[in-house]
Amino acid sequence: MAAMLDETALSQALSGRRVLVTGHTGFKGGWLSLWLRRLGATVVGVALPPARQSFCTAVGIDRLIESRIGDIRTENTLREAIGGQDFDLVIHMAAQAIVRTSYEAPVDTYMTNVVGTAVVLEAARRMPSLGGVIVVTSDKCYENREWVWPYRERDPMGGRDPYSSSKGCAELVAAAYRASFFSAAGGPQLATVRAGNVIGGGDWGTDRLVADLARSAGSGVPARIRNPVNVRPWQHVLEPVRGYLMLGAALLDHGARFAGAWNFGPGADADVNVGRLADLAVSKWRGECPDYIIERQDGAPAESVVLRLDSTKARAELGWKPLLHLEEAVASTVDWYRAHRREPERIRAFSESQINDYAARWATGKDAAPAQEEKEVIATCA
């Protein structure tokens, strides 16, 4: 397949398509819905109600698309929410997405992330027009060996905490559904996607690093940062979202060749530890400086120390590659929170302008800027 090099090609593939997004009231689902709408797709979202402070509420996503409130944990509630509608593409993002919450509510995490995935796939396979399904899991689905090498799509599933293992389980559920129900020639195809630690405007989730800093900015209350040495593959939300859109278009246009698992990780420059990412974010904040303290919690739930993703397959077969250097991703994220603080009523236009700028960057064909030399970041903002 020729690489889909710009947004025009994406729009040609997705305009006029009916797309079901689960989790549209969440951070990534909100950005995905906004971009899908810009591409001319008809978007229906199913999720739990948005949090009072969320991307969905700030931008008004639930007024821009057809928003259905529904629970994916049982077939009846999902069926009621979908109301017998038919779709070309299903992008399943709804999840209990926080590692620490998964320690407090493991059964609910498995119900949402594993049973919920089966419930959504069951609904999908009854849609007459379906061409493709994308199940969003996580970089944490892999059996983590705590080694320096990036994980590839064929590495074994695992997960030592309930969230990570629920995402590994969701991958297994999707693989069984693919083999059992989504493998007919010319029939709908199923892919799973694994992205890194996503940053971007409008994430107010608990235990999310930049969200914690955003809450600290202007409040005088420092963010509490755990595990500053843990290395994560940080990336701007529009990077994996573009990958999901390219993959959705490829499933609809080319079918089985694009079924299977896909990593969408950042360039190697973005595999930095939590402490460095926090310093980088603070250095971009100008004006209302956030502050943080490092909180060492003895006996706190364990999280993996090193996690890297290999996205060679997405580069080679889909023509996807990361576009933003880590500094650009952080700057764009901080810009969003600052814009929201200054002019909350204009944040939808601002978010759309960020998609516009990102699409323009894509059209230039330029990669993420080459990794800069590791330099010390001074964690101050003017």
Ligand X SMILES: NC(=O)c1ccc[n+]([C@@H]2O[C@H](COP(=O)([O-])OP(=O)(O)OC[C@H]3O[C@@H](n4cnc5c(N)ncnc54)[C@H](O)[C@@H]3O)[C@@H](O)[C@H]2O)c1
Binding mask 231-270 for ligand X (x = CB under 6 A): ----------------------------------------
Residue 17: left if φ>0, alpha if ψ -120 to 50, beta else—which one?
beta
How many residues in the chain? Answer: 382
Please state at what angle helix 75-82 crosses helix 116-124, rounded to 10 degrees: 50
Residues 309-338 that bind ligand X (CB under 6 A): none
Residue 47 touching ligand X (CB under 6 A): yes
Residue 351 touching ligand X (CB under 6 A): no
CB of 77 vs ligand X, minimal distance in Å: 8
Residue 95 touching ligand X (CB under 6 A): yes
Residue 109 touching ligand X (CB under 6 A): no
Give the SS3 label for residue 232.
strand
Query: Which of 287, 342, 284 lies closest to 58, judged by CA?
Result: 342
Residue 73 touching ligand X (CB under 6 A): yes
- For residues 158 and 164, give the distance between their C-alpha atoms in angstroms, rounded to a whole number: 7
- For residues 237 and 254, give the distance between their C-alpha atoms in angstroms, rounded to a whole number: 26
Residue 223 touching ligand X (CB under 6 A): no
Q: Applying CB under 6 A, which part among 66-74, 145-153, 292-300, 350-358 lies near ligand X?
A: 66-74
Cβ pair 153, 261 in contact under 8 A:
yes
DSSP assignment of 114-150: IIHHHHHHHHHTT-TT--EEEEE--GGGB-----SSP
**Tokens 């990361």 sit on residue:** 322
Residue 195 touching ligand X (CB under 6 A): yes
62 contact partners, CB below 8 Å, separation of at least 6: 24, 25, 45, 50, 56
CB of 233 vs ligand X, minimal distance in Å: 9
Residue number with CB closer to ligand X (12 or 77):
77
Residue 144 touching ligand X (CB under 6 A): no
Residue 93 touching ligand X (CB under 6 A): yes
- For residues 53 and 347, give the distance between their C-alpha atoms in angstroms, rounded to a whole number: 13
Residues binding ligand X: number (CB under 6 A): 25
Residue number with CB closer to ligand X (143 or 380):
143
Q: Applying CB under 6 A, which part among 11-19, 134-142, 303-311, 322-330 lies near ligand X?
A: 134-142
Token pair belonging to 115: 């049973």
Residue 198 touching ligand X (CB under 6 A): yes
Rounded to 5°, angle at Cα 132 from 129 and 138? 145
Question: Which of 4, 21, 23, 88 touches ligand X by CB under 6 A?
Answer: 23
Token pair belonging to 233: 């593959």
Residue number with CB closer to ligand X (73 or 183):
73
Q: Name the residue with the smallest CB distance to ligand X.
A: 26
Q: Which residues bind ligand X (CB under 6 A)?
A: 23, 25-29, 47-48, 71-73, 93-97, 112, 116, 136, 138-139, 195, 197-198, 205
